[in-house]
């Protein structure tokens, strides 16, 4: 992930897979069909492939992009949080899922243009608890396409006092 190509306050990032048709189908089953058992495979692969990269950045904690409470009730889980928790457990890094809050419902990003994505996410996130106690945070999400979610979440974390925000995604669009 080339964070130097944007004005995002992201210090660096990595992804486990390129976002192919097969990975799109896998993640869709995980998110929308409740295939939570996929999380174990995703976590194992993320740690094997990206664990050293994560540890070199020495994050104080791992957090996940929060879901709107309505979406989380519908799905029964936050897909990014399950990944964050698994990685945290395997690498012995604490997970704090109260750094960011989802403040409003948003339309799914997958069918929106980059401009629409940014507009869709405006005021969708806010600072949560404990942000000031961390200097370095690893933010986990499932898919990085335009970077809209990562940019907004990173801006909030940095605006609240976090010095370094690192991004880990399961998949990244082929343009990055």
String of DSSP letters for 25-80: HHHHHHHHS--TTHHHHHHHHHHHHHHHHHHHH--SEEEEPPPPHHHHHHHSS-HH
Spatial contact of 125 and 158, defined as CB atoms under 8 Å apart: no
Q: How many CB atoms lie within 10 A of CB 36?
A: 14
3-state helix, strand, coil in the chain (%, to 5): 45, 20, 35
At 108 the pLDDT is 67
Domains of the chain from N-terminus onward: 14-172 (3.40.50)
Query: In this structure, what DSSP letter does residue 145 have?
Result: S
DSSP element (H, E) containing 146? none
Question: What is the C-alpha separation between 10 and 3, in angstroms, rounded?
Answer: 6
Q: What is the CA radius of gyration of the chain?
A: 15
At 4 the pLDDT is 44
DSSP element (H, E) containing 87? helix 79-91
- Consecutive sets of 10 residues in the chain, 176 residues long: mean pLDDT of each? 57 96 96 95 98 98 93 91 98 96 73 72 82 93 90 93 97 80
Q: pTM of this prediction?
A: 0.88
């Amino acid at each position: 992930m080339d964070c130097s190509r944007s004005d995002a306050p992201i210090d660096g990032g990595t992804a486990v897979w390129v976002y192919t048709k097969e990975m799109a189908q896998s993640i869709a089953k995980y998110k929308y069909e409740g295939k939570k058992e996929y999380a174990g495979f995703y976590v194992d692969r993320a740690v094997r492939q990206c664990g050293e990269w994560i540890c070199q950045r020495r994050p104080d904690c791992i957090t996940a992009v929060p879901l709107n409470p309505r979406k989380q009730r519908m799905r029964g889980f936050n897909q990014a949080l399950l990944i964050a928790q698994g990685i945290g457990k395997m690498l012995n890094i604490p997970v704090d899922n109260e750094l960011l809050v989802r403040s409003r419902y948003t339309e799914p990003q997958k069918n929106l243009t980059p401009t629409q994505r940014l507009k869709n996410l405006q005021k969708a996130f806010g600072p949560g608890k404990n942000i000031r106690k961390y200097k370095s945070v690893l933010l986990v999400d499932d898919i990085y396409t335009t970077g809209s979610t990562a940019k907004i979440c990173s801006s909030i974390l940095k605006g609240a006092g976090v010095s370094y925000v690192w991004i880990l995604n399961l998949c990244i669009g082929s343009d990055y």
